[in-house]
A and B are shown apart, each in its own frame.
Chain A
Amino acid sequence: MADALLELDDLAVHYQVGSRFQGGVKALKAVDGITLDVKPGECLGLVGESGCGKSTLALAIMGLVAPTRGVIRLEGRALGARPDRMETARTVQMVFQDPYASLNPRQTVRRTLADPLRLHGVGDKAEIEARVADMMARVGLRPEHADRYPHEFSGGQRQRIGIARALILRPKLVICDEPVSALDVSIRAQIINLLMELKDELGLAYIVISHDLGVVEHVSDRVAVMYLGRIVERGGWREIFENPRHPYTRALIAAIPDPFRRSAATADRKARGEIASALDPPPGCHFHPRCPLRADVCATQAPALEPIADGHLAACHFRDRTG
């Protein structure tokens, strides 16, 4: 087993929200004790509903928000309280969800790609030129696009620029936060395919964040399912999709309308009720108010994330109950 590229150990990010004068300051536990690792060349899928802390996790890894507790280790080095951003930048990069907001409207593609190189000490003009051209070709942009501004591109092309920017420093790990959900349906396949090709060509590791289970199943080697700041289940993609053990995972899968199967069959697996607020999560198992398997113990004790089989863990008191 290769050494992990990224390790998270009990990582937590709490935001302070509210004001002193109005209802007092509260801690919003956006990420609350996550342990994960990503190995070189591997793709980790991260699913969960809106607000469960996926993006926060990504930002914490990137050093953009300070963890409240826990450790982030990159290639075995723990990131300190003031991580070396330059070093981190050359190891991990990120692709954003919204291709419209993630490109500076006042910069040409060339500047967007060349500036980081310059910043990271690639001083040689010719080399910068070459690397920009190479990266553009890899993501399927034509050389003449280099001097255009973002508004001259379609959403799919912009996302390609975003990917090129993430890869220009040759990182080892790329976090893709909802890389296709803002794109036209007919464009998504292009971007997913591109990501997969680049992964193989450059030997990248990915964390793909998505709420689209189809996408996650398609791209991931391993999958982690998050609910209100915690991981409720993780394991290889096959285990998660074919043998989900957490009722939330099952509810997620059941909620996807399957054009080949009418929904009646899965009605009993569906979750009911609203997602609780991260500010005020239910006690015990966060999922229990919506859980079809709910029992008294769920409201009082938070289940630990424990293994079911090798590399397949679930945080449920009834993790052994199948289907």
Chain B
Amino acid sequence: MLAVLVRRLLNVVPTIAAVVALVFLLFSVLPGSFISGMNEDGRTTIDPAVMERMRKEMGLDDPLAERFVKYLGRTAIGDLGTSFRTREPVTKLIADRLWPSLKLTFAAMLFAIAIGVPLGFVAALKQGSVLDTASMVGAISGLSLPKFWLGLMLMYLFALQLKWLPSFGYGDGGLRHLTLPAIALGVSPMALLARTTRAAVLDVLNADFVRTARSKGMGESRVVTWHVMRNALVLVVTTIGLQFGSLMGQAVVVEKLFSWPGVGSLLVDSVFQRDIPAVQGCILLIVFFFLAINTLIDLAYVLIDPRIRYG
């Protein structure tokens, strides 16, 4: 377990380093500047003299290499810089958004797992049935819709027509406000999970050891609970990890649509306002989340798969 963790962490370090560098370089060539970004709504005129001074103040006119080195140094000690826009530390900006973001991603993933995995299971066990066909067509449909469109439809249906749930916003951060954005975000991983689970269960059902189990005189339900489930899980866990890890990044659209105060909407806003330190911070967080989730998944493997535990 520890060995896996250590190995994983050693692998993660260069990835993070590369991301840090990449993010810096990408955004240092971004056209437009945060000052013109203040005019996002087109309703503000800015004083050019101020602009010049601020550029200098923020070191934007320094040579790229110099800025890069400074940036690396700061990032290494966990200082993500100061937001151009709010003039607060980026770490604080992100910290404010972290909890809602985590809530949304976890809720979406929970939804995806709670619906997708059982659906895939049932579809596989009833392979070829109407239920199977219907759930798989449904799953593929879920993958074929733009998220913002799906979100609008959910709002329209559940908030405007049925009046069951609020259409937007964070509210008290509770379930009522969380439900719709979580579903909008969770549908595509749900669909993917349903499909992977189905394929995984079919794979396992065709495995030799399942035939062995049947030859022992085991009933189908026991075969499934004793031998199929865990083995299928091993195959599904990777998908869960990849989906889960990238969810925070995918949340951009949903957060924007539902006014959910997550890192994704901060990121988009910051991109449009050219608040480069904030953008860099957000991306680092999203990458970090991805790597953390996948490290956890690796550890989960160790728990459920003895071949890795003793390998």
Least distance between A78 CB and chain B CB atoms (Å): 40
B7 cross-chain contacts in A, Cβ below 8 A: 19, 21-22
Interface code B1-37, partner A: CB below 8 Å = 1, 0 otherwise?
0010011001000000000000000000000000000
A22 cross-chain contacts in B, Cβ below 8 A: 3, 7, 311
Least distance between A154 CB and chain B CB atoms (Å): 26
B3 cross-chain contacts in A, Cβ below 8 A: 21-22
CA distance A21 to B3 in the complex (A): 7
Interface code A266-283, partner B: CB below 8 Å = 1, 0 otherwise?
000000000000000000
Majority-rule SS of A interface residues: loop
CA distance A22 to B6 in the complex (A): 10
CA distance A268 to B6 in the complex (A): 51
Least distance between A146 CB and chain B CB atoms (Å): 38
B10 cross-chain contacts in A, Cβ below 8 A: 21
Interface code A16-43, partner B: CB below 8 Å = 1, 0 otherwise?
0001011000000000000000000000
B311 cross-chain contacts in A, Cβ below 8 A: 22
Least distance between B13 CB and chain A CB atoms (Å): 13
Least distance between B280 CB and chain A CB atoms (Å): 30
Q: Which residue of B lies closest to A21 (CB)?
A: B7
Q: Which residue of A lies closest to B6 (CB)?
A: A21
Interface code B291-311, partner A: CB below 8 Å = 1, 0 otherwise?
000000000000000000001
CA distance A215 to B190 in the complex (A): 56
A21 cross-chain contacts in B, Cβ below 8 A: 3, 6-7, 10
CA distance A22 to B3 in the complex (A): 7
Least distance between A208 CB and chain B CB atoms (Å): 32
Least distance between A180 CB and chain B CB atoms (Å): 26
CA distance A22 to B311 in the complex (A): 9
Q: Which residue of B lies closest to A19 (CB)?
A: B7
A19 cross-chain contacts in B, Cβ below 8 A: 7
B6 cross-chain contacts in A, Cβ below 8 A: 21
CA distance A21 to B6 in the complex (A): 8
CA distance A19 to B4 in the complex (A): 12
CA distance A151 to B311 in the complex (A): 37
CA distance A19 to B6 in the complex (A): 13
CA distance A128 to B10 in the complex (A): 55
Least distance between B6 CB and chain A CB atoms (Å): 7
Q: Which residue of B lies closest to A22 (CB)?
A: B3
Interface code A22-66, partner B: CB below 8 Å = 1, 0 otherwise?
100000000000000000000000000000000000000000000
CA distance A21 to B7 in the complex (A): 6
Interfacial residues of chain A within 71-104, with CB under 8 A of chain B in the complex: none
Least distance between B223 CB and chain A CB atoms (Å): 31
Least distance between B306 CB and chain A CB atoms (Å): 15
Q: Which residue of A lies closest to B11 (CB)?
A: A21
Least distance between B308 CB and chain A CB atoms (Å): 10
Least distance between B196 CB and chain A CB atoms (Å): 27
Least distance between A195 CB and chain B CB atoms (Å): 34
Q: Please give the residue numbers on chain B whose beta carbons come within 8 Å of chain A beta carbons, in ascending order.
A: 3, 6-7, 10, 311
Top 8 closest pairs, chain A to chain B, by CB: A21-B7, A22-B3, A21-B3, A21-B6, A22-B7, A21-B10, A22-B311, A19-B7
Q: A21-B10, A22-B311 are in contact. List 6 more A-B contacts (CB 8 A).
A: A19-B7, A21-B3, A21-B6, A21-B7, A22-B3, A22-B7
Q: Please give the residue numbers on chain A whose beta carbons come within 8 Å of chain B beta carbons, in ascending order.
A: 19, 21-22
What are 8 inter-chain pairs, A to B, with CB distance below 8 A? A19-B7, A21-B3, A21-B6, A21-B7, A21-B10, A22-B3, A22-B7, A22-B311
